[in-house]
Structure 1
Amino acid sequence: MDSDELREVLQEAGLSPYQSKAYVALLELGTASARELVEASDVPDPRIYDVVRSLEDRGYVETYEQDTMRARAHSPADVLDDLQNRASRFEQAADEIEDRWEQPELDRHAASIVKRFETVVDRARLFIQEAENQIQLSASIEQYEQLRGVLADALDRGVYIQLSIYTNPDDDVELPAEEQLAATTTEARHRPIPSPFVALIDRQKACFGPHEDALNEYGVLVDDRMHEYIFHWYYSSCLWEICDEIYSSRNDEPPIEYVDVREFIRDVEPMLLDDLSVGVRVVGKDVSTGEERELEGEVADVFYEGDDYRGTREIPLAQLAGRASVTVATDEGEFTVGGEGAMLEDVEAMRLTITSASE
């Protein structure tokens, strides 16, 4: 079905000619300013704002602010429900809308504001489906249930998943059973107060929405490493570090796997203080070239800024907020390994595994 036929079908479904032109153009663009939409759809400039707002009222699009007002096609679920009740021609149009909506990506290196919270969960689902290494998720039980399927698929792919599940203090609800958590997460913790929805994927993408009792409904979508890193620290310090563990598949004895170099340092330094030899395998990226890099050897040293807790067995997360790295001695020499966003080290670690610990 070409674009002209799709617009015709949408008009038969109740859209005006200008609405159908703007909507089909927005499906193809993914996201656009009013000026870009005028040029792509041939809707007259004086009419474009009224047309976009009328589409938003019908649930077809949503608007958000960056430098100027921008619009993107809303999740097509409501549109599909309407069209799929009609003849086979309408069903073809529904499939076409779904295909075109899924193609565009968020603007790179930018954070976008959306008005509907459901958009945040929808986008998180898509990001989770594409995850390759790590997911950090803060969600209510209901939100967790909505994402269980894609989380299970990601875990099967070898993705490391941390879940912080929150409940209201007055709610009499049961947390997910251990078998359910084992099928969907690597580690899970519980936060017994209302919390934001946060989904962080592969150190690049982030979805944020305020907790359900917030007065304003909005969301933030990010596809940028620097912005995601800010959300990562919020997640680590406020939604993970202080919460009670309710499930973990991590081994107590080697091999013990980590996705965070700072957590690795907190566990390894006490071993070094006991004069243990700690074997380690690192999978990550070469900081200079960006190419995949693997190291295997022995932990020679750990480094973090500040001396207040050096030589102690319990290092607060805040003490590791600055530069933190591990030196690994291999057959090829010594290499420094940093965490997310490493710039001064040789390797940015994606996964670290304690392979052995012996005297």
Structure 2
Amino acid sequence: MDDDELTTVLEDAGLSPYQAEAYVTLLGLGTASATDIAESCDVPDPRIYDVLRDLESKGYIETFQQDSLTARARNPDDVLDDLRSRSDKYLNAAESIEDRWNQPEISDHEVSIVKRFDTVLNRARELIETAEHQIQLGVNTDQFYELAPELHDALERGVNIKLCICTGPDEEIPDVADIERACTEARHRKIPSPFLVLIDRTWTCFAPHRHSVSEYGVLVNDRTHTYVFHWFFITCLWEIWDTVYTERTPETPTSYVDLRHAIRDIEPLLDEGATISATVRGYDTDTNERVNLSGTIVGVDYTGSTMGRKDPIPLAQLAGRISATLEVDGDRYEVGGWGAVIEEIEATQIIVTDVRHQ
């Protein structure tokens, strides 16, 4: 570093231009009179005495009388500590700026693009910790273990968790015992996939798979956009892949968080004349108040029903409007799925508590 660069840095550290120049000059001279210092730099003679006194008060130099005012640089330990401290502050400020740029504060109904995958992973972890109803996620094995503690806690709270493990040809899936502790149901996709976590039908955390050319992430706090990612999860990460674990058994009660999957099982039973008792939990679509109703499912309806049903019902037939009718003490309620508007209730959970055949 030459004299000009060092002078500039010292100015950034708080010295005036004259002070910085005089100090750099004195470092080169060792010990010198005020007159010699002024002659060796651009500090005017009338100013040199004030400049030296200021440098002495800051701890950079010491002065003494020898025929004339003479100065020498002090041991630079204190100066070096000060400069290093300032350097650390600049580094901390740089890191803070980078973190804030990569992880902007998320407000309602916002889609944010972030630079680093770690930002997406950490946000997913935070959201899993506060999930109330439902989590859907597609992750590789390493990502699963990163999120496993939070998934385990969410499962203990009663959150329904659908997990898709996505692996390459030579990658192993997690141990089934670990999977059981972290989800309601798990499937295995034998193709690498983007990182995807959906929380309570509102939040999406998405990042391209690790073989992607560029690293970035998308954080979404919006029900409509999250619904699009939900269909990506259903069609690409769930529907066609083998089940490796499920807590569901042939015995009732059977719990569903997606009305479409519930109707797949319920419609054949209704066709056989069965009486289906169920509890529906969700929200009143007019008031947004929580609803918890128990009664009998007496009918189902969906846009694709006129196409002619096959067992099981193709997913395409359930892609439009879909509803179930719940009878409670003589009153009937229309129950819709995710994003229900026309129906009276948006269901977040359907629990089939009993099935009685005629």
Question: Given the two structures, how large is their TM-score scaled by the length of structure 2?
Answer: 0.73
* Distance (Å, rounded) in 2 between the aligned partners of 1:198 and 1:137: 5
The alignment partner of 1:350 has SS state of strand
The alignment partner of 2:119 has SS state of helix
* Distance (Å, rounded) in 1 between the aligned partners of 2:127 and 2:87: 31
RMSD: 2.1
- For structure 2, which runs of at least 5 residues remain unmatched after alignment? 1-81
* Distance (Å, rounded) in 2 between the aligned partners of 1:250 and 1:291: 29
- For structure 1, which runs of at least 5 residues remain unmatched after alignment? 1-7, 24-54, 63-70, 75-103
Q: How many residues align?
A: 276
Please list, as runs of the form range in 1=range in 2, the aligned pairs for 1:92-171 lying within 5 A after superposition. 105-169=105-169, 171=170
* Distance (Å, rounded) in 2 between the aligned partners of 1:13 and 1:242: 56
Number of the residue aligned with 1:328: 326
Amino acid at match of 2:101: R
Deviation at 1:13, TM superposition (A): 5.9
Q: Is the 8 A contact 1:301 1:327 kept in 2?
A: yes
Q: Is the 8 A contact 2:102 2:115 kept in 1?
A: no
Q: Is the 8 A contact 2:102 2:116 kept in 1?
A: no
The alignment partner of 1:215 has SS state of coil
Number of the residue aligned with 2:286: 288
- 1:118-176 CA-to-partner distances (Å, cap 9, x unmatched) read 1111110011111111100100000001001111111111111000001102x1x4322
* Distance (Å, rounded) in 2 between the aligned partners of 1:176 and 1:109: 35
Amino acid at match of 1:121: L
Please list, as runs of the form range in 1=range in 2, the aligned pairs for 1:332-343 lying within 5 A after superposition. 332-343=330-341
* Distance (Å, rounded) in 1 between the aligned partners of 2:266 and 2:211: 40
Amino acid at match of 2:131: A
Among residues 61, 85, 88, which one is paired with 2:98 in the alignment? 61
Deviation at 1:60, TM superposition (A): 5.0
The alignment partner of 2:347 has SS state of strand
CA distance change for structure 1 residues 13 and 252 in 2, over 3 Å: closer, same or farther?
A: farther
Deviation at 1:15, TM superposition (A): 3.0
Among residues 183, 204, 207, which one is paired with 1:185 in the alignment? 183
Number of the residue aligned with 1:72: 101
* Distance (Å, rounded) in 1 between the aligned partners of 2:353 and 2:216: 44
CA distance change for structure 1 residues 282 and 247 in 2, over 3 Å: closer, same or farther?
A: same
Number of the residue aligned with 2:269: 271
The alignment partner of 1:341 has SS state of coil
Off by >6 Å, runs of 4+ in structure 1 = none
- Asked if 1:14 is matched to 2:88, the reply is yes
- 1:13-44 CA-to-partner distances (Å, cap 9, x unmatched) read 6233xx86xx5xxxxxxxxxxxxxxxxxxxxx
* Distance (Å, rounded) in 1 between the aligned partners of 2:168 and 2:102: 33
CA distance change for structure 1 residues 187 and 14 in 2, over 3 Å: closer, same or farther?
A: same
* Distance (Å, rounded) in 2 between the aligned partners of 1:284 and 1:307: 24
Amino acid at match of 1:204: T
Amino acid at match of 1:198: L
* Distance (Å, rounded) in 1 between the aligned partners of 2:330 and 2:292: 12
Deviation at 1:221, TM superposition (A): 0.3
The alignment partner of 1:179 has SS state of helix
Q: Is the 8 A contact 1:269 1:313 kept in 2?
A: no
The alignment partner of 1:150 has SS state of helix
CA distance change for structure 1 residues 319 and 311 in 2, over 3 Å: closer, same or farther?
A: closer
Q: Is the 8 A contact 1:164 1:189 kept in 2?
A: yes
Amino acid at match of 1:72: W
Number of the residue aligned with 1:302: 300
Number of the residue aligned with 2:199: 201
Deviation at 1:61, TM superposition (A): 1.6
Number of the residue aligned with 1:238: 236
* Distance (Å, rounded) in 2 between the aligned partners of 1:13 and 1:291: 54
Q: Larger Cα Rg: Structure 1 or Structure 2?
A: 2
* Distance (Å, rounded) in 2 between the aligned partners of 1:120 and 1:340: 24
Amino acid at match of 1:143: Q
* Distance (Å, rounded) in 2 between the aligned partners of 1:286 and 1:11: 58
Amino acid at match of 2:206: F
* Distance (Å, rounded) in 1 between the aligned partners of 2:307 and 2:120: 39
Among residues 205, 212, 216, which one is paired with 2:210 in the alignment? 212
CA distance change for structure 1 residues 323 and 122 in 2, over 3 Å: closer, same or farther?
A: same
Deviation at 1:252, TM superposition (A): 1.8
Amino acid at match of 2:89: L
* Distance (Å, rounded) in 2 between the aligned partners of 1:253 and 1:309: 31
